[in-house]
């Protein structure tokens, strides 16, 4: 047994050797116990202490969503390799049901209602294409693997997202939300809920004011199947399959919802064994599917994220083991979502592990992010999934309609162009490297409990701005923030007769842009538009500067946003006490339009 497999199974071996085996061998008698199984299976392990055995199985890395305790036994889903190890530990698993292609399984249940029942990858794509055809101005398809990820999944499949907005072809200045399903491909009811929500929005646009408000006010991204390779395998080979389909030696697949960076290397991460159903992968974000979702999220900076799984009928919030200072507030919000879904106020819990998708969205993007467990089984009848989707739509709508406590835009105070800026809340003691920032389009948001807090907006080359915001339990504080660029000029050695004065220019926000020096005899303010004011005129000194009096009077700032201008001052005592002003401006590279105006340097020639 390899070290990683030992870590997964040795705790079970201790239990088996101590007191579980005698009961496991005889408690409930017969049942098939083959030497091996060809595919995943539901199995039963008999035990007088099922709760202890269940905890040991969880500690060994088995999927908590696929473990059920009974009066004298534990039922769980195992892979063929996990089955072999359970047998080697003499836990005597009894095979209850072998996995088979989902089509066969549903046919046996008399519930195969294609195309009105569960849809495979091709049918889901056809349905999304039909929605685009019916609503061309409000829906468009995006392959997020090709656009934001490595190109395709291991088996060469796209990962399709449907974008819904009022002018979907345009990049509008509006908040963005993400709803995803089927990280775990056997959870086939989750895409049903996402597709149902899409229909309620698009079909309700003309008649439902709430649907119209969401489409008009948001850019909504829906990913019905994050794991298309695994989803295909569920329909065609193994209905209990959970992971993706990338091979690792003799084993296959990574648990995509253990592959995200937050907590991936911690004590609450997924399994390190490739044989496990909760294998976290060889490295954080190692998988094409994970990379695609991360790439999309970094590009779009989603304000809110909802991830659907099954089963359990509950909403998960916060981190598992890592410190998260807003944990109690997110729990309160999770209660509201569970109530909206019809699950009740007690149907919330912490997650099973770390390395999960929604946790990464909390950590890196600061999103309003949760995981909802639907249903009471992985693969209920289609009619049951559709009925639950009606409830889930209420949750999705409440999730999207929840007022953002604070939002706005960050802009350059001189150019008024949007800025990506870091946002810090000194009163919130983050401990896991949480990042909060405005998007490249300047849009920012912040989720936090009620109370007055200072937020600090910063970017290299700009003066940090502090904004005091009264967060409330309901309602939104809208606050636009202007960051003043630091555009400086200095003469650290002074300006003296008989010497060459060096003027050091620095504007880190203008690195490698063109600058124009503008020395002048007076400090008369000249408005240059958009609130920019040049403290000086265009006079004789300006003219002489461009006729050779100043060196480096124009050029390009270097990669650090720096440059130098020089002026030789003759040895002439009559110049002592002579005042002038040194300014410069920077230009937009694309159109030579004015960008920034420096702070003036007031100079007096010295002896």
As a three-state string, the secondary structure of 342-389 is: CCCCCCEECCCCCCCHHHHHHHHHCCEEEEEEECCCCCCCHHHHHHHH
pLDDT mean across residues, the chain: 91
pLDDT confidence band for 88 (50 / 70 / 90): confident
The H or E element spanning position 142 is: strand 139-143
- The percent of residues above 90 in pLDDT, for the chain, comes to 76
Backbone angles phi, psi at 140, to 5 degrees: -145, 150
What is residue 97's predicted lDDT score, i.e. its pLDDT? Answer: 84
Q: How many residues does the chain have?
A: 607
Helix (H), strand (E) at residue 82 = helix 80-88
Cβ-based neighbours of 501, under 8 Å, separated by 6 or more: 491, 493, 494, 495, 566, 567, 568, 569
CB 67 within 8 A of CB 86: no
Instruction: Tell me the chain's radius of gyration from C-alpha atoms.
Output: 31
Residue 44: beta bridge partners? 75, 94
More confident position, 57 or 553? 553
When mean pLDDT is compared across 94-103, 154-163, 244-253, the lowest value belongs to 94-103
Residue in 407, 394, 399 with CA at minimum distance from that of residue 471: 407
Cβ–Cβ contacts within 10 Å for residue 178, how many? Answer: 26
For position 33, what pLDDT does the model report? Answer: 86
**CB 267 within 8 Å of CB 354:** no
Q: Out of 3.50.50.60, 3.40.50.970, 2.60.120.20, 2.60.40.1120, which CATH number does the structure's domain 406-483 have?
A: 2.60.40.1120
Q: Give the closest residue to 370 by CA, choosing from 304, 430, 312, 427.
A: 304
Strand order in the sheet with 550-551: 488-490, 500-506, 562-568, 550-551
Give the pairing of strands 584-587 and 514-517: antiparallel
- Residues 13 and 593: their CA atoms lie apart, in Å, by 73
Give the pLDDT of residue 27. 42
CA distances in angstroms from 302 to 138, 218, 295, 354, listed in the order given? 19, 10, 12, 20
CA 374 to each of CA 45, 184, 192, 332, 391: distance values in angstroms, whole numbers, following the listed order: 26, 13, 11, 19, 10
pLDDT digits (tens, 9 = 90+) for 361-370: 999 999 999 9
DSSP 579: E
Q: Where are the beta strands (DSSP E) in 150-302?
A: 160-164, 176-181, 219-223, 247-248, 251-252
Q: Give the Cβ contact number of residue 579 at 10 Å.
A: 11
Asked whether residue 306 carries a pLDDT value surpassing 80, the answer given is yes
A 10 A CB-CB count for 172 gives 15
Which tens digit of pLDDT belongs to each residue from 441-487?
999 999 999 999 999 999 999 999 999 999 999 899 999 999 999 99
| Nearest in space to 420 (alpha carbons), one of 358, 383, 462 | 462
**What's the CATH architecture for 105-401?**
3-Layer(aba) Sandwich (3.40)
Measured distance between the N- and C-terminal CA atoms of the chain, rounded to whole angstroms: 84
Residue 148 CB contacts under 8 Å (≥ 6 apart), including other chains:
292, 295, 296, 298, 299
Interatomic CA distance for residues 324 and 350, integer angstroms: 12
Pairwise CA distance, residues 47 & 70, whole Å = 9
Cβ atoms of 598 and 585 within 8 Å: the answer is yes
Tokens 């200045």: give the residue: 173
Residue 253's pLDDT is 98
Contact between residue 552 and residue 488 where contact means Cβ atoms under 8 Å apart:
no
Taking Cα atoms as reference points, which of 418, 458, 416, 468 lies closest to residue 436? 458
- Predicted local confidence at residue 109, as pLDDT: 58
Q: Which two tokens stand for residue 451?
A: 């109370």
- Other C-beta atoms closer than 10 Å to the C-beta of 205 total 18
- 573 phi-psi bin (left φ>0, alpha ψ -120 to 50, beta other): alpha
Q: In this model, does residue 199 exceed pLDDT 70?
A: yes
Residue 108 pLDDT = 64
Residue 374 near residue 388 (C-beta atoms within 8 A):
yes
99-113 mean pLDDT: 62
| Overall average pLDDT of the 277-282 stretch | 97
Alpha carbon distance 84, 39 (integer Å): 12
- Residue 30: which pLDDT band, with cuts at 50, 70 and 90? low
My answer on whether omega of the bond before 311 falls inside 30° of 0, hence cis, is: yes
pTM of the predicted model, to two decimals?
A: 0.83
Residue 21 predicted with pLDDT over 90: no
Nearest CA among 191, 67, 174 for reference residue 123: 191
Find tokens 């030696």 and name the residue: 249
Q: Judge whether 594 and 487 are in contact, CB under 8 Å.
A: no
Least confidently predicted of 22-36, 123-137, 172-186: 22-36
**Each residue's pLDDT tens digit, 320-358:** 999 999 999 999 999 999 999 999 999 999 999 999 999
Per CATH, which fold does 488-604 belong to?
Immunoglobulin-like (2.60.40)
Distance CA 247, CA 229 (A): 12
Pairing relation of β-strands 314-316 and 601-604?
unpaired
Per DSSP, what are the bridge partners of residue 551? 566
Residue listed under structure tokens 């100079």: 603
Confidence check: pLDDT of 111 > 50: no
**pLDDT-derived band of residue 104, with 50, 70 and 90 as boundaries?**
confident
Pick the range with the lowest mean pLDDT from 29-33, 120-124, 300-304: 29-33
Nearest CA to 449 out of 582, 320, 325, 578 is that of 325
CB of 133 within 8 A of CB of 163? no
């Amino acid at each position: 047994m390899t070290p990683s497999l030992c870590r997964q199974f040795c705790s079970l071996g201790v239990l088996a050797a101590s007191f579980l085996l005698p009961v496991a061998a005889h408690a409930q008698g017969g049942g098939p116990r083959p030497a091996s199984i060809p595919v995943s299976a539901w199995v039963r392990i008999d035990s007088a202490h099922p709760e202890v055995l269940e905890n040991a199985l969880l500690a060994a890395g088995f999927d908590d969503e696929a473990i059920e305790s009974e009066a004298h036994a534990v039922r769980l889903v195992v892979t063929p390799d996990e089955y072999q190890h359970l047998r080697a530990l003499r836990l005597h698993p009894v095979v209850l049901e072998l996995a088979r292609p989902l089509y066969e399984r549903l046919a046996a249940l008399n519930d195969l209602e294609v195309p009105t029942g569960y849809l495979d990858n091709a049918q889901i794509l056809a349905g999304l294409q039909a929605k685009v055809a019916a609503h061309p101005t409000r829906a468009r398809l995006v392959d997020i693997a090709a656009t934001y990820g490595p190109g395709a999944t291991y088996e060469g499949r796209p990962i399709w997202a449907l974008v819904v907005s009022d002018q979907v072809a345009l990049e509008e200045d509006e908040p963005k939300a993400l709803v995803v399903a089927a990280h775990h491909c056997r959870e086939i009811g989750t895409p049903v809920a996402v597709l149902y929500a899409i229909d309620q929005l698009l079909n309700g646009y003309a008649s439902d004011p709430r649907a119209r408000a969401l489409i008009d006010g948001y850019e909504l991204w829906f990913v019905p199947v994050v794991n298309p390779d695994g989803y295909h395998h569920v329909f065609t080979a193994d209905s209990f399959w959970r992971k993706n389909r990338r091979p690792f030696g003799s084993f296959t697949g990574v648990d995509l919802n253990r592959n995200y960076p937050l907590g991936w290397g911690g004590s609450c991460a997924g399994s390190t064994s490739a044989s496990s159903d909760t294998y976290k992968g060889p490295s954080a974000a190692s998988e094409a599917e994970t990379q695609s979702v991360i790439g999309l999220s970094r590009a779009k900076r989603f304000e809110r994220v909802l991830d659907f799984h099954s089963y359990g009928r509950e909403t998960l919030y916060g981190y598992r083991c890592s410190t998260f200072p807003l944990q109690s507030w997110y729990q309160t919000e999770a209660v509201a979502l569970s109530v909206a879904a019809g699950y009740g106020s007690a149907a919330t819990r912490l997650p099973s592990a770390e390395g999960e998708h929604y946790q990464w969205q909390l950590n890196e993007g600061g999103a309003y992010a949760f995981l909802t467990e639907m249903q009471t089984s992985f693969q209920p009848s289609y009619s049951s999934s559709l009925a639950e989707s009606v409830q889930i739509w209420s949750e999705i709508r409440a999730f999207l309609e929840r007022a953002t406590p604070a939002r706005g835009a960050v802009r350059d105070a001189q150019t008024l162009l949007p800025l990506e800026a870091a946002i810090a809340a000194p009163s919130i003691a983050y401990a896991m490297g949480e990042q909060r920032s405005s998007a490249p389009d300047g849009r920012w948001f912040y989720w936090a409990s009620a109370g007055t807090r200072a937020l600090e907006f910063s970017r290299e080359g700009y003066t940090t701005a502090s904004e005091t915001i009264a967060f409330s339990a309901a309602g939104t504080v809208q606050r636009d923030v202007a960051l003043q660029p630091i555009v400086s000029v200095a003469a650290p050695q002074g300006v003296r007769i008989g010497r060459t004065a060096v003027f050091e220019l620095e504007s880190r926000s203008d690195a490698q842009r063109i600058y124009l020096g503008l020395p002048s005899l007076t400090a008369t303010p000249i408005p240059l538009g958009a609130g920019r004011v040049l403290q000086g005129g265009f006079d004789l000194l300006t003219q002489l500067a461009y006729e050779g009096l100043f060196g480096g009077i124009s050029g390009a700032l270097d990669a650090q946003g720096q440059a130098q201008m020089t002026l030789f001052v003759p040895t002439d005592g009559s110049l002592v006490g002579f005042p002038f002003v040194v300014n410069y401006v920077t230009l937009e590279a694309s159109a030579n339009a004015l960008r920034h105006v420096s702070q003036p340097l007031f100079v007096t020639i010295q002896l």
